[in-house]
Structure 1
Amino acid sequence: MPQHITTLTVQTSGKALVEITREVADWVASTGAQTALLTLFCRHTSASLLINENAAPAVKRDILRWLDRLAPENAGYEHDDEGPDDMPAHLRSALTGSSLSIPVADGRMVLGTWQGIYLAEHRAHPHRRQIVAHLLADN
């Protein structure tokens, strides 16, 4: 079974959900794979990956507010080596996850109509994040 691997770099501007669907889809298409399993892995402990609605901007805002309520800053965490957003970023990452598996059929990711792939930046300051994409294909 052919395998393809790459690292996608995503520049963030602080806490946000950054849609990466197009970048991932372009890479999948460039491999020529028709039927495959795509794995995406975030190489960071203060950022994460998720699939969610990409049509209504309010969804992203609501998700970010929900994560803020679940893991607020300045909540007396012992781990605060890099500032007040450090431990909350780790907790938010633990809640949302570091990897995704997405089937590929006919050369395209099998996502629902309104689904998009997001890198969740949980830190307040800009970062360059790395996402490893691995494709296990049948052709």
Structure 2
Amino acid sequence: MSHAFMTRVLSVTTGAEERVADLTHDCAAFLRETAQGRDGLLNIFVPHATAGVAVIETGAGSDDDLLAALRTLLPADDRWHHRHGTPGHGRDHVLPALVPPHATLPVIKGRLELGTWQSVCLVDTNVDNADRQVRLSFLG
């Protein structure tokens, strides 16, 4: 395998409630092993139709604010044509149009180049599927 492209799949359990799961430490650990001081790009991809990746502040209420905003924009009610699963599950299938299932971020000298308050997060509103995969890929 080339050292220019490395990939790893994380398993993340999000639980039975909507959740914003901080992946920043997992991303940093992956880069320590793979980037080895090089510049490049980190791609984070969620291969699920009902989850997304966001770069936001966490721990100061922004993650809860994001979930509240998504509940306002995508209410869990019977308006959705996609109707299997728990009531309102169709909204979970619209989520990736607002919170995309991927992000590509700069890596400088082997470290994720985030702003002071930025974190890489998995956004999961689907309470029917608590087991998620997140693919991390470094190109450098």
Superposed pair shares fold, TM > 0.5: yes
- 1:24 equivalent to 2:30? Answer no
1:6 aligned partner: 8
Deviation of 1:75 (Å): 3.6
Deviation of 1:45 (Å): 0.8
Q: 2:136 aligns with which of 119, 128, 133?
A: 133
Determine the C-alpha separation between the residues in 1 that align with 2:129 and 2:49.
Answer: 15
Which consecutive unaligned segments of at least 5 residues does structure 2 have? none
Report the secondary structure of 1:76's partner residue.
coil
Q: CA RMSD in A?
A: 1.4
Q: How does 1:44-59 map to 2 (within 5 A)?
A: 44-56=48-60, 58-59=61-62
1:87 aligned partner: 90
Give yes or no for contact 2:107–2:113 (8 Å, CA) kept in 1: yes
Give yes or no for contact 2:80–2:88 (8 Å, CA) kept in 1: no
Q: Deviations 1:18-47 (Å, cap 9, x if unpaired)?
A: 101001110111112511111111010111
Determine the C-alpha separation between the residues in 1 that align with 2:24 and 2:59.
Answer: 12
Q: How does 1:54-65 map to 2 (within 5 A)?
A: 54-56=58-60, 58-65=61-68
2:47 aligned partner: 43
Q: 2:115 aligns with which of 94, 112, 117?
A: 112
Give yes or no for contact 1:15–1:123 (8 Å, CA) kept in 2: yes
Segment drifting more, 119-128 vs 102-111: 119-128
TM-score (norm 2): 0.91
TM-score (norm 1): 0.91
Deviation of 1:55 (Å): 4.2
Deviation of 1:85 (Å): 3.5
Deviation of 1:83 (Å): 2.4
Determine the C-alpha separation between the residues in 2 that align with 1:109 and 1:118.
Answer: 14
Which consecutive unaligned segments of at least 5 residues does structure 1 have? none
Determine the C-alpha separation between the residues in 2 that align with 1:55 and 1:15.
Answer: 16
